[in-house]
Amino acid sequence: MRGMAMLIFAVLLIVMGCTQTADASNYEESKIKTIHVGGKVLCQDCTQGWNEWVHGAKPIKGGKVSVTCMGERSRVVYYGSDLTDEKGQFNLIINKNINGKELKAKLCSVRLVSSPDATCNILTNFAGGRTGVKLNRPSLMYRDLVKYTIDPFFYTTPMCEKPDTDDHPDNGHGGHY
């Protein structure tokens, strides 16, 4: 009898804990007013040796990064941008409510826009910088703050740009320029 009472008590504690956790997560979600998106923009020089190419990327100051958020009807509901600091870091801040409607982070994408460095201004798609990266998993959730941290985006030097050598006749050039 005593074992049965302990079992019922344990089940009650588990159920109460689960419902309180669920209520807390719903409460926290409704309190969120802004979405923060952070990351870095770096220059990767392919003319360097392997170690420098892989590990020697340098930050780009003044690089422009944008965020575009779509609505449920696949229309742009928010567009914003930020410039990187001397460490190549950016921090986009997005209001969660736009024109009375709640913005959904999963419908936002972040991408490279421009580099002020003439020696390193070729977009790459490492980590999705050229095509854009969807916000899917927050790196931090605390009270009314949600932050997404994006993997570093990269530009490269003009010498590293892959030339268009497509010999396909549909491009109008027939392989000749």
Q: How far is CA 133 from the centre of its chain?
A: 5
> Is 138 among the domain residues?
yes
Q: 163-171: long-range contacts (C-beta < 8 A, 24 or more apart)?
A: none
Rounded Cα distance, 95 and 140, in Å: 17
**3-state DSSP assignment of residue 26:** helix
Q: How many domains are contained in the chain?
A: 1
> Is 20 among the domain residues?
no
> Is 3 among the domain residues?
no
* pLDDT at res. 53: 66
* pLDDT at res. 31: 72
- In this structure, what token pair is assigned to residue 168? 């396909």
* pLDDT at res. 43: 93
* pLDDT at res. 47: 78
Determine if the pTM surpasses 0.75: no
> Is 169 among the domain residues?
no
* pLDDT at res. 91: 97
Q: CATH number, domain at 84?
A: 2.60.40.10
> Is 47 among the domain residues?
yes
* pLDDT at res. 80: 96
* pLDDT at res. 50: 67
* pLDDT at res. 2: 57
Q: Could you state, in chain order, the average pLDDT of each consecutive group of 10 residues for the chain (177 residues)? A: 54 47 42 91 83 80 97 93 98 91 93 96 93 95 90 90 60 44
Q: Among candidates 38, 86, 53, 47, which has minimal Cα distance to 154? A: 53
